[in-house]
Amino acid sequence: LAKTTQPISMDSYEGQEVNITCSHNNIATNDYITWYQQFPSQGPRFIIQGYKTKVTNEVASLFIPADRKSSTLSLPRVSLSDTAVYYCLVGDPRDDKIIFGKGTRLHILP
Amino acid sequence: DAGVTQSPTHLIKTRGQQVTLRCSPKSGHDTVSWYQQALGQGPQFIFQYYEEEERQRGNFPDRFSGHQFPNYSSELNVNALLLGDSALYLCASSLVVAGDSYNEQFFGPGTRLTVL
């Protein structure tokens, strides 16, 4: 399983766009990149998943360069309710075992 | 449609005791995974159950065992509790789909276990 590295914490302000970058230098050919969000005392929630280029849904965008050694989760116009821990995960989607790192603690300020 | 539910919400035990945590998967899901999340850490995979059998297991001792019932609900049992077992225990459910599609896991709210 590819190891991921992401910032321990980030601060931003309401209305700003937030970009969280994750490094995964030894990503394998079959690996996908998945991001989860977790609020305090709740289980993680799937945000977005991608393999290459760009993926967008109603919540976020995921940018993956051609070499796939990193990825960036982009949250447009954040609000206070986006304060949470964001986990970057890399793995084969056929493997149901999810390996979480320590995540990035995002704190949105008013 | 109810999502993943877990019981109890909170639990306090003493060292050496045994505990059973319960999980009901999201409607239509047939696979249940259990995770342990210590304070300030990411969730750690314990094991996964599919068709009433343990399919995958993480790096946890045999004190951690589980069961899946015909209705797909699941239990996590921990024997001989240690102080270090204090954590949030998360249950996640998914539906196994043949082929390469991603089996998205839906997490429950967790059970907060405190061992004194």
Chain segment A49-99, per-residue pLDDT in tens: 999 999 999 999 999 999 999 999 999 999 999 999 999 998 887 776 778
* pLDDT, tens digit (0-9, with 9 covering 90-100), for B16-58: 999 999 999 999 899 999 999 999 899 999 999 999 999 889 9
Nearest-CA neighbor of A34 among A81, A68, A73? A73
Closest Cα of chain A to B76: distance in Å?
A: 16
Residue B83 gets which letter from DSSP?
Answer: G
Nearest 5°: CA angle at A56, between A54 and A60? Answer: 115
Nearest-CA neighbor of B35 among B26, B18, B47? B47
Mutate to test the interface with B, among A1, A31, A97 (most CBs of B within 10 A): A97
Q: What is the full DSSP assignment across A41-83?
A: TS--EEEEEESSEEEE-SS-EEEE-TT-SEEEEEESS--GGG-
**Per-chain mean pLDDT for chain A:** 92
Inform me whether the C-beta atom of residue B110 falls under 8 Å from chain A C-beta atoms.
yes
* Average pLDDT, integer, range B65-80: 97
Task: Kindly tell me if the per-residue pLDDT of B99 is higher than 60.
Answer: no
Chains A & B: contacts with CB separation below 8 Å:
63
- pLDDT for res A105: 97
Mutate to test the interface with A, among B97, B100, B112 (most CBs of A within 10 A): B100
- pLDDT for res B20: 98
